[in-house]
Amino acid sequence: MMEYGNMLAVVGSPSSGKTTISIKLAVEIAKKKKNVIVVCADPFAPPVPFLLTADTEQNTSLGALLTAPTLTQNKILEACVLVPSSEHISLLGYCLGENPMSYPKVTRERVIDFLVSLRHLADYVILDCTAVFEADIFSILAMELADRVLRMGTSNLRGISYYRSHAGMLEDRKDGGKYISAIGNFKTGQEWEAAAGHYGGVSFVFPYVLELEAQYDELHLFEGLTSKESSAFQMEIRKLMTEISGLQVHIQEQKPEVKRTVTARKKSSFQNPFAGRKGEF
Ligand SMILES: Nc1ncnc2c1ncn2[C@@H]1O[C@H](COP(=O)(O)OP(=O)(O)O)[C@@H](O)[C@H]1O
Ligand SMILES: [Mg+2]
């Protein structure tokens, strides 16, 4: 079990890699032979249909679970989609074609019941939230009830703008140390330090990896990464795993290309991380 408990929420800007990181972290957890449930809670663009090949059936939607007259641990387990390539990972999420209007209003009480039950159903629970969390009671409560919250940003201006708009809602209040900040999908040529300053410092930088993007597009996200360029990404995932679990990992000799933890820059000054450069975004 994690030092803080077993539930991690992943939040942050659109396309920052929340779903990608959630799955890769689950794969890392599965390597330790621990069970993990990933709840893909985005009702605006449900990811589960695109995480698995067409022959894997998703029978029950997260929306159905959250609005059914009663909720039992059995119902939750029955709704879990088992990942064919890993006996340790299962997924819950909305189905293809659904949106927040597909179900009656989800209540706060039901989400709390659901999250409390989930904790007992796996060694680890990852709550992959929607960027528009303020419009989704599940994501709001996920952040509140999770033991740790991974706050993902991007190094492009849209991500920084998103963070500026949401910073007040994405900050530690009383739980010091609950939030972990990261930049995802970080491209060569972007200045991570300048970008990190906008997020008040970050602990992880996940580099853009071509192989990873291809895995995502080809529905192979549960497979291992083999390219040389992916090792820095993989290193960050292992470190994240250590951070949230306390499990010791075997740190490879190879140093990652990315650096971490910079001091916060004063929020008032807007420094364009791409000034003077042609970004690749
Ligand atoms: N580190 C990365 N390297 C390459 N592509 C990435 C990386 N992180 C995310 N992506 C790509 O960005 C897109 C959005 O990623 P996703 O995980 O769905 O983001 P989010 O869940 O935050 O919206 C996907 O096409 C994914 O393949
Ligand atoms: Mg997502």
Return the closest-CA partner of residue 56 out of 80, 81, 74, 36: 81
Q: Answer for the pair 119, 86: CB distance below 8 angstroms, yes or no.
A: no
Give 129 Cα–ligand 2 centroid separation in angstroms: 7
Choose the residue to mutate in 15, 209, 211 for probing ligand 1, maximizing ligand atoms within 8 Å of C-beta.
15
Q: Give bridge partners of residue 127 from the DSSP assignment.
A: 9, 39
Candidates 1.10.620.20, 3.40.50.300, 3.30.450.20, 3.30.390.30; CATH matching 7-245 = 3.40.50.300
Q: What is the pLDDT of residues 1-37, one digit of tens each?
A: 444 579 999 999 999 999 999 999 999 999 999 999 9
| Phi, psi (deg, nearest 5) at residue 276 | 80, 5
274: left (phi over 0), alpha (psi -120 to 50) or beta: alpha
Q: Answer for the pair 20, 28: CB distance below 8 angstroms, yes or no.
A: no
What whole-number distance in Å separates Cα of residue 90 and Cα of residue 165? 33
Return the closest-CA partner of residue 41 out of 69, 22, 68, 16: 22
Is pLDDT at 263 greater than 80 in this prediction?
no
What whole-number distance in Å separates Cα of residue 22 and Cα of residue 28? 10
Q: What is the pLDDT of residues 36-87, one digit of tens each?
A: 999 999 999 999 999 988 778 888 999 999 999 999 999 999 999 999 889 9
Q: Counting atoms of ligand 1 from 1, which one is nearest the CA of 16?
A: 22
Q: Answer for the pair 131, 14: CB distance below 8 angstroms, yes or no.
A: yes
Ligand 2 is an ion; residues with CB less than 5 A from it = 18-19, 42
Q: What is the pLDDT of residues 77-136, one digit of tens each?
A: 999 999 988 999 999 999 999 999 999 999 999 999 999 999 999 999 999 999 999 999
Hey, what are 257's tokens? Answer: 């290309």
> What residue spans define the domains of the chain?
7-245
At 259, the pLDDT band (50, 70, 90 cuts) reads: very low
Give 217 Cα–ligand 1 centroid separation in angstroms: 10
Q: Whose CA is nearest to atom 9 of ligand 1?
A: 17
Choose the residue to mutate in 50, 151, 155, 213 for probing ligand 1, maximizing ligand atoms within 8 Å of C-beta.
213
Q: Whose CA is nearest to atom 13 of ligand 1?
A: 15
Whose tokens are 């470190």? That residue is 239
Q: Which residues contact 43 (CB under 8 A, 6 or more apart)?
A: 62, 63, 94, 98, 99, 100, 102, 130, 136, 138
Query: Coil, helix or strand for 82?
Result: strand
